[in-house]
Chain A
């Protein structure tokens, strides 16, 4: 109970800092001269925290924002009004976040169109609340008549809604990241180009003297669509934030009149809604594709298992016939020995039959071995990287979901191999799945990252060595000796065949598979280099 109701100071600190950054980046004072903003909880950030971490944070958020506002902006003119406004805003968000989470039961990480839609509805309401509280609490002389007052209300609402649509999804979608998902955003050529395209669009819209400010606004849709198609909702939220920051910077620098700002906000709003829904569509489609792919993989594996089971049955039957005949003959022969003289010829006959039957049993075994060695293998020239990809592809998503990092050593300079792509892929896949399951089973709260290292090296002129290493709990001493035996497993629903089959497959290639070290777990196998190259 205590762990779920505890308040994390890290979250509060992030909230305070995030609030300051947002203030600096979006600067609501440019829209309307307001008296409350620095001390009241920032809308988007608060809603995200309430959705992610729960309603118990609400009072703390009010306090934290008020305290951080003090040294920067001094005491507000009317502290009591500010406090009332803060409490009212927080209560409104509390109601909305509770409604989203428990009424509509949305996934707070926004994983479907439906989640996004209900979030949008809540955002519209929250923005009205925010606008109402802020516009109402101004001094009466700020607006001369009811029309001016209404115009202010609508202006403020649009601004608040945009901030909400940009900040909250950004946090929700990227909350609790794993390093693998962040690694996808590490500046590479593509992300740099994507960022550059936004800068370019902004440059065309504002930078050229000849262009009118809004004429080319639609250009901003192009990089946004590109990023959405490539990175889904994650990309969409980041691109929108980047665009928004850029626009605000330009607005400050150019000093736009506030009428222009309102029109501009309307455009930005349509950009945000388009980006979010397009991004979500891409993400949802990818999730569906992944699910389909996973089903296919599972089906494939099930069919392979069924085929293996079928073959085991057939072999068992074929071996059982000579074995039971052998046993019968031997037992009969023992009875003949009771009167050896009487049955001498029959005994000789029976021993001949025993010989024949054992040869027959041997033939079954030989056929089985040939099936695996010759006929079963489809050898081709493949690179180590292709084989690693073959084994890794079906396991990658699972590793990402569990926050496991997979490091692959560079293997550009390795010679090509002669191997059956599917079978070696199966071996690597088995080793990886074992490693992933070991890491998933590791107790939570461990400080070190969960990692799997795959490296390939040349051990001699004719062989490459593949090594799969994980920093999981290791292999128990009593398991080490029987690791490669059939039907030995430490998994509750395991068959205990993965490593046994893997070893058979590697040996069929003329390689070996062994346990290099039980802790950290390291399994290695060798494969022959393609002699033709």
Chain B
């Protein structure tokens, strides 16, 4: 996993260079691309941080890049920069999940705030993602029987019903259940239900 980085995409060399310089001095790592295509070619799923996109560029524009990245599974927050604040574009960008939409020339405060918020959102997302992955990893360690017992227990069935359904003795169910709870690091049945839900919602997002 990489350190959080601000990925700048702008076809104007001076704008790109000055943005990187300024954000460097504010203590952030930056990486700049001269075109949307270059950024898309370099993109890796483990990128962390946020994107600063110019809306209007030669070739693929900012909205196009946003769309392409989302379809590839990127969840990087995006801040758009534009030379002309046109409402239709701003709406489209924000609807597809952009964090902010800054009109050039922007105040430094506005830029810094937007970047900060984008990075914070990314940090929250990464933390949530790590948590989900941890639960999924625990589930992966369960044996076939343990997984079956877990599903039925989470569905609210008492041990006797689980035994009848799996055609094993209630005693054996208890043994599988104890081992499963230990592997899932769940202290109680409600705790187990919460973990399963978190894994589901995390995977769905």
Contacts and interface: CB of A to CB of B under 8 A. Distances in A.
Given A327-B108, A331-B108, A316 B83 contact: yes
Contact of A320 (B25, B26, B83, B108): B83
A356 interface: yes
Given A320-B104, A323-B105, A328 B12 contact: no
Contacts of A328: 15, 18-19, 21-22
A336 to B, nearest CB: 7
B14 A357 contact: yes
A317 B18 contact: no
Nearest to B108: A331
Contacts of A317: 56, 83-84
B15 A325 contact: yes
A313 B17 CA distance: 24
Interface of A: 313, 316-317, 320-329, 331-332, 335-336, 350, 353, 356-357, 360
A320 B56 CA distance: 12
B106 interface: yes
Nearest to A335: B25
Given A320-B104, A335-B25, A325 B18 contact: yes
A325 B84 contact: no
Contacts of B25: 332, 335-336
Contacts of A329: 18, 21-22
Given A321-B83, A324-B104, A324-B106, A332 B18 contact: yes
18 contacts: A320-B84, A320-B104, A320-B105, A321-B12, A322-B14, A323-B104, A324-B15, A324-B18, A324-B106, A325-B14, A328-B18, A329-B21, A331-B22, A332-B18, A332-B21, A335-B25, A353-B18, A357-B14
B21 A313 contact: no
Among B18, B25, B81, B106: residue with most chain A CB under 10 A: B18
Contact of B105 (A324, A350, A360): A324
Nearest to B25: A335
Interface in B1-35: 12, 14-15, 17-19, 21-22, 24-26
A353 B20 CA distance: 14
A400 to B, nearest CB: 42
> Which size class do B's interface residues fall under?
10 to 19
Contacts of A360: 14
Contacts of B105: 320, 323-324, 327
B32 to A, nearest CB: 12
A298 B26 CA distance: 53
Q: Is the interface of A mostly helix, strand, loop or mixed?
A: helix
Contacts of B24: 332
Would you list the 7 A-B pairs with minimal beta carbon distance, nearest first?
A: A328-B18, A317-B83, A325-B14, A335-B25, A320-B83, A320-B104, A324-B104
A326 B104 CA distance: 11
Given A320-B84, A327-B108, 11 more contacts: A323-B104, A324-B106, A325-B15, A325-B18, A327-B105, A331-B22, A331-B108, A332-B24, A332-B25, A350-B21, A353-B17
A316 B104 CA distance: 10
Contact of A353 (B14, B19, B104, B108): B14
A317 B85 CA distance: 10
Interface in B69-95: 81, 83-84
A325 B84 CA distance: 15
Contact of A325 (B12, B26, B106, B108): B12
Interface string B135-170: 000000000000000000000000000000000000
Contacts of A331: 22, 108
Nearest to B15: A325
Among B14, B56, B104: residue with most chain A CB under 10 A: B14
A91 B109 CA distance: 82
A316 B85 CA distance: 11
Contacts of A325: 12, 14-15, 17-18
A322 B106 CA distance: 12
Nearest to B106: A324
Contacts of A321: 12, 14-15, 83, 104
B10 to A, nearest CB: 9
Contacts of A357: 14, 18
Interface string B25-68: 11000000000000000000000000000001000000000000
Nearest to B18: A328
Interface in B109-142: none
A362 to B, nearest CB: 14
A289 B18 CA distance: 59
A520 to B, nearest CB: 42
A317 B56 CA distance: 9
Contacts of B83: 316-317, 320-321
A406 B192 CA distance: 90
A322 B24 CA distance: 20
A401 to B, nearest CB: 38
Contacts of A316: 83-84
A316 B22 CA distance: 23
Among A320, A326, A336: residue with most chain B CB under 10 A: A320
Contacts of A335: 22, 25-26
Contacts of B21: 328-329, 332, 350
Contacts of A322: 14
A332 B22 contact: yes
A315 to B, nearest CB: 10
Contacts of B56: 317
